Amino acid sequence: MYTEKRAWWKEAVVYQIYPRSFADSNGDGIGDLNGITAHLDYLKTLGVDVIWCSPVYASPNDDNGYDISDYRAIMREFGTMEDFDRMLEGIHARGMKLVMDLVANHTSDEHQWFVESRKSRDNPYRDFYIWRDGRDGGAPNNWGWCFSGSAWEYDEATGQYYMHLFSKKQPDLNWANPKVRDEIFDMMTWWCEKGIDGFRMDVIGMIGKESFEDGAVAPGALYGDGGPFYQHTETTHRYLREMRQRVLDKYDLITIGEAGGGTADAIRYSNVEGTELNMTFGFEHTDGINDGNEMGKWSDHGSPLAEVREVMNRWELDLQGRAWNTVYMSNHDQPRQVSRFGNDSPLWREKSAKMLGTLLHMMRGTPFVYQGEELGMTNIYVKSIEQYKDVEVFNAWRQWVESGRVDAQDMLRWYAKIARDNARTPMQWSAAPNAGFTTGTPWIDVNPNYLSVNAEAELADPDSVFHYYRKLIALRHAHDVIVYGDFVPLLEDDPSVYAYRRTLDCQELTVLCNWTDRTAPCALSGDALGEELISNYPSHRAGFLYPYEARVLLKRA
């Protein structure tokens, strides 16, 4: 039995808002801060403890706010600092907390620091970014970037290249420069003094670049993989410990690293001694399942039970007693979870959405709910490239389709399954025009299924996905075994059922999930396992689980 130290952020459930697509208060088609403030009671009803807002800072929106041009100003389309203060007050007044997105691996190329930096080689801000001479008439090394293409961009003005691990409008900050760290830590302190409650740290595992050698080129790949020289390095850990001492330790925060890597990396970032962060997001069960594919996430591979379970169980077990975990399947970078891991056909959408919710919320780690997940929102399945808005989609199109390497129909099929825009369609509030998201023209298409899948309808239906999630969240708050219990995998080779147990003192919580659309035999389905806490079926069949059935049973000795 592991003894878990109590902490409020272990007991919390986090709700992620993608502000651009949450609620538009002024009819310009873009979600905004007043839109969030107007829906805080909805979130309170759901029962979440913490709200994480994707970036709300000033930005030219090359990557929807993940390209920040002023860390201390609010994006014009989202409102004003007064709107922000009112939103924060509203969140606190309801006993909830606010997590800000800290995007500090890079800024926008329109940030004042970069505007200065690119002016001349001896500008005082030159070393805020990573500038290098070219090599043999090309880029300084062979690294590719996360959205396709070279990680280096040539800049005429000074005849050097700057590094960008994301779009060319997202130049990487040079964390090796102590002045950069001073600026970032001051900015973080400024937000903490304003009263925010934590940070979700964007690609924080990439801040510690250690060297700039060529990376290995995988068969079929166009660029080298610089990962070993900039991901999860000793230098990154050193910067995080410095951040902890200079900023984080002064406040009672929740800190979440978007750091990826393997469990050994997560254990270092979110170690129980608490020298770095509280928790990190793993990517092995989402993007990681496609590692080794020539085109990365663009593939027909899907997310088979055996692979997902192997990864998720390994994360639960490896981190147990060593680090705190996060549990999620959805965010603004992933397709809708019911479409990817469940079954979004009208017949099974609700059942499978509830099954996936059960699987996640009973695990060890802080659960993250992405806006609309609590309604069982699905992928949109757009047919043409014109309907997409995401820079990642456009760049991949250029690299693979326009170059003639991949058939357009294949790419469109992969986009429909996995593109980030699937999660960025507007929140479905009601059956009113545009799903009640806006009275104007939405910046991105609304999923046509809003007529049946929407918050208003689900609030009125006690059997909805929404009320099921509300119950899951309440269960976590009511039962220590769900937060602090040990994780024990069960039926690890079962072709249909994902099952596990949580144990604490004399309590045993058994979680059974049928991952398929067929009735599956299950030796564990008996009532002998205790009192039923929640299920997505009103009655059960001994020895079997119905399609997508989920059942949670608690035995107290």
Active site residues: 202, 258
Residue 110 lies near Ca ion (rule: CB under 5 A): no
Which of 4, 32, 109, 258 lies at the binding interface for Ca ion (CB under 5 A)?
32
103 binds ligand TEU (CB under 6 A): yes
Token pair for 64: 């929807």
Per the document, the length of the chain is 557
Residue nearest to Ca ion (CB): 32
Judged by beta carbon, residue 388 or residue 466, the one nearer ligand TEU is: 388
- List residues bridging with 525 in a β-sheet: none
Q: Which string of x and - marks every residue 147-186 that binds ligand TEU (by CB under 6 A)? A: -------------------x--------------------
- How many other C-beta atoms lie within 10 A of the C-beta of residue 239? 22
User: Does residue 416 belong to the site contacting ligand TEU (CB under 6 A)?
Assistant: no
Cα–Cα dist 289/213, whole Å: 27
Tokens linked to 552: 């949670």
Pairing of strands 497-504, 544-545: unpaired
Q: Which helix (H) or strand (E) holds 473?
A: helix 465-478
Q: Does 421 bind ligand TEU (CB under 6 A)?
A: no
53 touches 100 (CB < 8 A) = yes
Q: How far is the CB of 231 from ligand TEU (least distance, A)?
A: 10
Q: Where are the alpha helices (DSSP H) in 66-213?
A: 81-93, 112-117, 178-194
> Looking at the DSSP assignment, which residues form a beta bridge with residue 16?
52, 370
83 is an interface residue for Ca ion by CB under 5 A: no
Pick from 17, 30, 522, 550 the residue near Ca ion by CB under 5 A: 30
Select the binding partner of residue 66 from ligand TEU, Ca ion, none (C-beta < 5 to 8 A, by kind). ligand TEU
Instruction: Enumerate residues 270-299 that contact ligand TEU by CB under 6 A.
Output: 287, 297
By CB under 6 A, residue 225 contacts ligand TEU: no
* Contact status: 333 vs ligand TEU (CB under 6 A): yes
Figure out which of the listed residues 146, 267, 272, 305 binds ligand TEU, where binding follows CB under 6 A.
146
User: What's 60-96 look like in SS3?
Assistant: CCCCCCCCCCEEEEECHHHCCHHHHHHHHHHHHHCCC
103 binds, among Ca ion, ligand TEU, none (CB under 5 to 8 A by kind): ligand TEU
Spell out the residues 6+ positions from residue 7 whose beta carbon is closer than 8 angstroms to its own: 278, 324
Could you say which of 22, 66, 71, 546 contacts ligand TEU (CB under 6 A)? 66
Of 93, 96, 10, 98, nearest to 53 (Cα)? 98
Least distance (Å) between residue 98 CB and ligand TEU? 18
The answer to whether 24 contacts Ca ion (rule: CB under 5 A) is yes
Q: Does 202 bind ligand TEU (CB under 6 A)?
A: yes
Nearest to 367 by CA among 318, 330, 324, 328: 328
Please state, in angstroms and rounded to a whole number, the distance separating the CA atoms of residues 59 and 108: 7
Residues that bind ligand TEU (CB under 6 A): 63, 66, 103, 146, 166, 202-203, 258, 287, 297, 332-333, 392, 420
Residues that bind Ca ion (CB under 5 A): 24, 26, 28, 30, 32
